[in-house]
Chains A and B, each alone.
Chain A
């Protein structure tokens, strides 16, 4: 198994980006990532694109549409898609392109443009349900998170105030981040608890906002990194991915077993047996706090 390192990264401003197409957002992130790695498109062997529902951008076969902005012209190019988990998953796909020995340098580009979805991207989430069993109930995305959050609070005896602290921490952390959309240095737990109730116990400030943006990373094989004497690199030591049943009524709403299994796989590969002691920092997905 070829060792794989991350040697470049780029990220655009996350906002309602009305002046740029999705292709242009991809180009911006791609250029930043290649510049930070000191490479050009000519050094790239293959490209992996990660982007979620096509209906956000309003283009079918969105991967094909984003291809030239992502640097995929006349190269092996693949789009992968695992719903909300696509952002991390695309890097895993990039990893196997290099670890398999088929590519030396792979560009991984992620894009999402929710602002083109009118009147609100929530309307796309009306189409993520089973057409026979769920859709006639007209559910929306907030409902399912409300049920999960309620169940989590009930089973573990977690207070709403405690969960609100996550929103406060993350919005404060975003202060000074050049890409952040909703940084707020003065936000308090009370602000979250007093924000509009969407579907109890989920309130407006518990939810991440729709956004437009792109990010990219450059992955390279150990050989390439050594030959080019690249000093700035982070090794990918473990990967894991997993999916639960389609039927959310059959899932454990309290404990995300799919995350536990993906993590177990990645830890085993990275030879981590005490994650709580051995891991220095974490960036978990937090669409809802």
Chain B
């Protein structure tokens, strides 16, 4: 049975949203998604899924704080403690069982409410082996960036090209928080942070919410919608321990992509995929993820971004949305935002950043520091 996306709802991403609490943020995105899908959540939806983590939310049991603003009170509702794409994968499976016809997936960030964001991220480090070292958690990204640059002979200029491209793309995305005209030289000269990463290599937090409505082929037909089909999903985790994971290859993305390509029956992803939205919360991650997705050979992504292959006019447009560097780090909503962006591109609803002739797209996510977990979704519209 085919499963499709029939509704997309997003709030703007902003460094802070003092005018909204988290419930109002969720309500806005949900209302937009329901209007887009032309459905009534109290009658047409069989299952609601939220992607959230207690510590980011500041609650003991955040699951309890989800239903009302989504229209989900006294309905089947659950939390997937993971990235939005993992929530999408679970909704996809629920529909594949035949038990659920229409499912709603929500993910959000209210990072501006978190007083000690670095402390919360640090709290996810192994409490016995890593946390007592007292290092800032972004040291993990610095070390990994170093391992990646060495293993693939990628130049710092490649990272700066990712930064310039994504901030520039964000200028054409009205939802993005951090659009800016940054050139490669600016990025190379920005202050050093976690060597080899510089200030501009690191995405900044943002608030925002994304809601997608998924439907079975049968339900989509009944609702007279024109779905973006989910051809494949995949998700995987490498070792949670820093000491035993692969530091240069994003094994979690390689495995997730293998699964998604298998389900999508995509044999030559590098030639069949027209548009990609991949996690770039640190600039090197975009390149590492493109290689793990099989969209570039190992060590080539850096050369190709410098050549301009990944720009909106390039051979494979990557993060036309502006990515996390341009839109902001929306934590668990990151992957769902990327799926929403790919869906908009495939529907032809991406406004001034609309690409021509895109039919197959990939969205990829990573669960941020210190995880080695990621997910992949392949979306498609009929040619």
Give the B-binding residues of A (Cβ under 8 A): 1-2, 21, 52-55, 58-65, 67-68, 72-84, 89, 93, 95-97, 99-102, 124-128, 130-131, 239-247, 257-258, 261-262, 265, 269
Query: Are A242 and B76 in touch, CB under 8 angstroms?
Result: yes
Q: Name the distance in Å between A254's Cβ and chain B's nearest Cβ.
A: 15
A64 touches B74 (CB 8 A): no
Q: Which one of B96-104, B167-175, B185-193, B223-231 is at the A interface?
A: B96-104
Whether B60 lies near A124 (C-beta < 8 A) is: yes
Q: Is the CB of B58 within 8 A of A127?
A: yes
Query: Contacts A78-B235, A96-B90, A241-B78 known; A65 to B54 CB distance under 8 Å?
Result: no
Beyond A64-B240, A80-B81, 17 additional pairs, beta carbon < 8 A: A74-B236, A76-B237, A76-B255, A78-B80, A81-B54, A81-B63, A81-B78, A81-B79, A83-B63, A84-B61, A95-B97, A97-B93, A125-B60, A126-B60, A131-B58, A243-B74, A243-B78
Which B residues are CB-close (under 8 A) to A60?
53-56, 120-121, 123-124
Q: How far is the CA of A81 from the CA of B82 in the complex (A)?
A: 10
Per the bound structure, the CA–CA distance linking A93 and B234 in Å amounts to: 16
Say whether B166 faces chain A, with CB atoms less than 8 Å apart: no
Given contacts A67-B237, A74-B236, A75-B237, contact A1 B99 (CB under 8 A): yes
CA distance A59 to B122 in the complex (A): 9
The CA of A152 and the CA of B370, in the complex, are separated in Å by: 46
Bound-complex Cα distance A124 to B62 (A): 12
- A22, closest chain B residue (CB): B127
Rounded to whole angstroms, the CA-CA distance of A52 and B60 in the bound complex is 9
Q: Which residues of B sit under 8 angstroms from A102, Cβ to Cβ?
A: 93, 96, 263
Point out the residues of chain A lying under 8 angstroms from B94, CB to CB. 96, 100
User: CA separation between A114 and B68, bound complex, in Å?
Assistant: 29
A266 to chain B, nearest CB (A): 11
Min CB–CB distance A170 → chain B (angstroms): 24
Chain B residues near A2 (CB-CB < 8 A): 97
Q: State the B residues within 8 Å of A (CB).
A: 53-56, 58-61, 63-68, 72-82, 86, 89-90, 92-94, 96-99, 120-121, 123-124, 126-128, 234-241, 251, 255-256, 259, 263, 367, 370-371, 373
Q: Do B236 and A53 have beta carbons less than 8 Å apart?
A: no
- Chain A residue contacts of B126, Cβ below 8 A: 65
Residue from the set B76, B255, B256 with the largest chain A CB neighbour count within 10 Å: B76
A242 touches B124 (CB 8 A): no
How far is the CB of A45 from the nearest CB of chain B, in Å? Answer: 10
CB distance from B264 to the nearest CB of A (A): 13
For B61, give its contact among A1, A52, A73, A247 (CB under 8 Å).
A52
| Residue in B77, B99, B120, B370 with the greatest tally of chain A CB atoms within 10 Å | B99
| Chain A neighbourhood of B58, CB < 8 A | 127, 131
Beyond A65-B240, A96-B90, whether A244 also contacts B123 by CB under 8 A is: no
Query: Beyond A78-B90, A81-B81, A245-B73, is A64–B235 a contact (Cβ under 8 Å)?
Result: no
Task: Kindly identify which residue among A21, A78, A84, A89 contacts B86, using a CB–CB cutoff of 8 Å.
Answer: A78
Taking CB atoms, residues of chain A closer than 8 Å to B263 are 102
The answer to whether residues A54 and B86 also contact, given A243-B74, A243-B77, A244-B74 and a CB cut-off of 8 A, is: no
Closest chain-B Cβ to A264's Cβ sits at a distance in Å of: 11
- Bound: A261/B126 CA distance, A: 40
Contacts of A65 in B (CB 8 A): 124, 126, 240
Which residue of chain B has the shortest Cβ distance to A103 in the bound complex? B93
Which residues on the A side are within 8 Å of B241 (C-beta)?
Answer: 68
Contact of A73 among B81, B98, B239, B256 (CB under 8 A): B239
Q: How far is the CB of B32 from chain A (nearest CB, A)?
A: 21
- Which chain B residues lie closer than 8 Å to A80 at the CB level? 78-81, 90
Q: Are B237 and A73 in contact (CB under 8 A)?
A: yes
B187 CB → nearest A CB, Å: 30
Set B90, B93, B235, B367: member contacting A61, Cβ < 8 A: B367
Q: Which residues of A contact B63 (CB under 8 A)?
A: 81-83, 243
28 A-B residue pairs with CB within 8 Å: A1-B98, A21-B128, A55-B55, A59-B123, A59-B127, A60-B55, A64-B373, A76-B234, A77-B235, A78-B235, A79-B80, A80-B80, A80-B90, A81-B80, A81-B81, A82-B79, A99-B97, A100-B93, A100-B96, A102-B93, A102-B263, A125-B60, A127-B59, A128-B59, A128-B64, A245-B68, A247-B68, A265-B76
Does A243 lie within 8 Å of B53, measured CB to CB? Answer: no
A-B pairs, top 3 by smallest CB distance, nearest first, are A100-B96, A127-B60, A100-B93
Q: Which residues of A contact B81 (CB under 8 A)?
A: 61-63, 79-81
CA distance A128 to B235 in the complex (A): 30
Identify the closest chain A residue to B97 (Cβ).
Answer: A99
Min distance, Cβ B357 to any Cβ of chain A, angstroms: 31
Inter-chain CA distance A93–B79, complex, in Å, is 11
CA distance A240 to B241 in the complex (A): 35
Given contacts A73-B238, A78-B86, contact A61 B73 (CB under 8 A): no
**What CA separation (Å) do A79 and B68 show in the bound complex?**
23
CA distance A152 to B238 in the complex (A): 48
Q: B127 to A55, Cβ gap below 8 A? A: no
Q: Which residues of A contact B92 (CB under 8 A)?
A: 100
- Say how far A46's CB is from chain B's closest CB, in angstroms: 9
In the bound assembly, the distance between CA atoms of A78 and B82 in angstroms comes to: 7
CB of B56 to closest CB in A, whole Å: 8
Contacts of A64 in B (CB 8 A): 124, 237, 240, 367, 370-371, 373
The residues of B that contact A125 with a CB separation of less than 8 Å are 60
Write the chain A residue with the least CB distance to B46: A265
Task: Note all chain B residues with C-beta closer than 8 A to A59.
Answer: 123-124, 127
For B237, the chain A residues whose CB sits under 8 A away are 64, 67, 72-77
Q: How far is the CB of B215 from chain A (nearest CB, A)?
A: 15
